[in-house]
Chains A and B, each alone.
Chain A
Amino acid sequence: MKISDIQKLTDARIVAGHSFSERNVKKAFSSDLMSDVLTLDEEDILLITGLANIQLLRTAEMADIHVVLLARNKKASPEMIQLAEENRIVLLETPFSIFRASGVLFSSGIQPLY
């Protein structure tokens, strides 16, 4: 699924990495626990989270994750946006809860990791 479709399905706003919105994502993982995200063996997944801090972007950088969806109106700080841009990470903000965003994307064909 294209990131632009993820954006539409979750009423999201792209706040960093606008130029990569045609990238494709097949699988997603939802978590607030960065240590858990760092155990994933797959790359290029969508990460859905309620954790809005710098460590989220560091974790995405180290784990080779290039799309992050912030749930429930969590706002990305200017530092987070800067780090996302530096690492070519697409950062989105959705008003949906993690549960709703995950549900909508799952039923539209995004696959789970586990």
Chain B
Amino acid sequence: MELVFEIKGGDFTHAGKASSKIKKVLKQLNVDAKMIKRIVIAVYEAEVNVVAHAHNGVLRTIIGNDSIEVVIKDEGPGIENVEKAMEAGFSTASKAVREMGFGAGMGLPNIQKNADELEITSEINKGTMVRFKNYF
């Protein structure tokens, strides 16, 4: 099954729509609750990153019998140093983002923690691609 969502940069009211929908689908498929939680937390932090740091993005997920793949591609400033961005506490988030309860530099490390496989590629002034896969 394939699901596609658009994510608008700066639009905090809608962040979480994709994760919410994916959670409902995984529940219906009877995926283990702890695994669902890992997946949707990773999706949610990735969604929030597009809203917080990029202009707009598309999230695509393919849900198979024993795995899920999620790809979030955005148009935005890109990440200068991905390795550094992955460090706990590294953040360039604005005050507005921090007021929403994010922007502590914990998102990417938490995506890493919850994903079985993670790949991040980014190009400055173009955008970022986050791809991860989890096995049920």
Contacts and interface: CB of A to CB of B under 8 A. Distances in A.
Interface of A: 32-39, 43, 51, 53-56, 58-59, 61-64, 79
A29 to B, nearest CB: 13
Interface of B: 12-13, 15-16, 19-20, 23, 33, 37, 40-41, 44-45, 48, 100-104, 106-107, 110, 113
A35 B15 contact: no
Contacts of A59: 44, 101
A55 B20 contact: no
Contact of A35 (B16, B19, B23, B107): B107
Contacts of A54: 12-13, 16
Nearest to A59: B101
8 contacts: A33-B102, A35-B45, A35-B102, A36-B106, A38-B44, A39-B106, A58-B19, A64-B33
Q: Is the interface of B mostly helix, strand, loop or mixed?
A: helix
A49 to B, nearest CB: 8
B101 A53 contact: yes
A62 B41 contact: yes
Given A34-B100, A53-B100, A79 B16 contact: no
A33 B16 contact: no
B37 A63 contact: yes
Contact of A43 (B37, B103, B113): B37
A34 B40 CA distance: 14
From B12, B20, B107, residue with most partner A Cβ within 10 Å: B20
A55 B15 contact: yes
A62 B40 contact: yes
A49 B37 CA distance: 21
Contacts of B100: 34, 53, 55
Contacts of B15: 55, 58
